[in-house]
Amino acid sequence: MPPASRDLADTTAVVTGSASGIGRAIAKHLAEAGAAVLIHTRRNRPGAEALAAEIQASGGQSQVVLADLADQKEQDALLEQAWQWRSGVDIWVNNAGADVLTGPPARWSFEEKLERLWRVDVVATVRLARAAGSRMAAQRGGVILNMGWDASQRGMAGPSGELFATAKGAVMAFTRSLAQSLAPKVRVNCLAPGWIRTAWGQSAPRVWQERAEAECLLRRWGTPDDVARVACFLASPTASFLTGQVVEINGGFRYGPR
């Protein structure tokens, strides 16, 4: 991937769930490429405002919006605020996802976790992507990026695998259909990260650390920046002939004996 350029200058981007982790990296890379970035978070205002300040200190434009994407009224409010900020949006990244692996949600039942994932990861992504895409198509076109998961393509044993494969598999299938609905004015693609060292990865038990490296042909964890660089490429004019794609970002999955 070439070094970041200013090929997104004069564009406006929205990145949901961008106060930390992968979303934060995506927002930062888009800003470095010249986009004005709306940073969304459900409740991590300090993290969102710190990123906004960092972008502004580098000469970029940024704004923070809080919204609980499990609530359809707040989804709609986020969309309206995004469009009013700079009279349109060119890039919409549906990165936000429910955390059901840490904190109190880790003790929820399988059904409670599935319900939360469905509302945030699936329903919010579908509603926001369709609404944003419709507005983009009626204006100057644009790019939508959704967030999948590479293991949804092949499956993963266990309750967590079943939960996330269901939710992210739905997002990946939706992406392919929305790309057809919005072509040719709006491009729609899906990022499908593998083992990415976010906050969970940094504190994961040794067995998971070893598994992440063993299942990667490059023998390492991915980083949020690895995902962000691909997102920035897909959002740029350089990727103008790519739509309806699910792009795995996993360093190459290792099949068979490890």
Classify 12-245 by CATH class. alpha beta
Q: Identify the weakest region by mean pLDDT among 10-19, 85-94, 151-160.
A: 151-160
Give the tens place of pLDDT for each residue, 79-133.
999 999 999 999 999 999 999 888 899 999 999 999 999 999 999 999 999 999 9
Q: Report the distance separating Cα 81 and Cα 97, nearest Å.
A: 20
Q: Report the distance separating Cα 37 and Cα 220, nearest Å.
A: 30
Judge contact between 219 and 200, C-beta under 8 A: no
Mean pLDDT of 156-163: 92
What backbone phi and psi angles, to 5 degrees, belong to 253? Answer: -80, 135
Give the tens place of pLDDT for each residue, 34-80.
999 999 999 999 999 999 999 999 999 999 999 999 999 999 999 99
Peptide bond into 159 cis (omega under 30): no
Give the tens place of pLDDT for each residue, 206-249.
887 888 888 889 989 899 999 999 999 999 999 999 999 999 99
Cβ neighbour number for residue 26 with a 10 Å cutoff = 31
Please tell me the predicted confidence (pLDDT) of residue 1. 39
Amino acid at 19: A
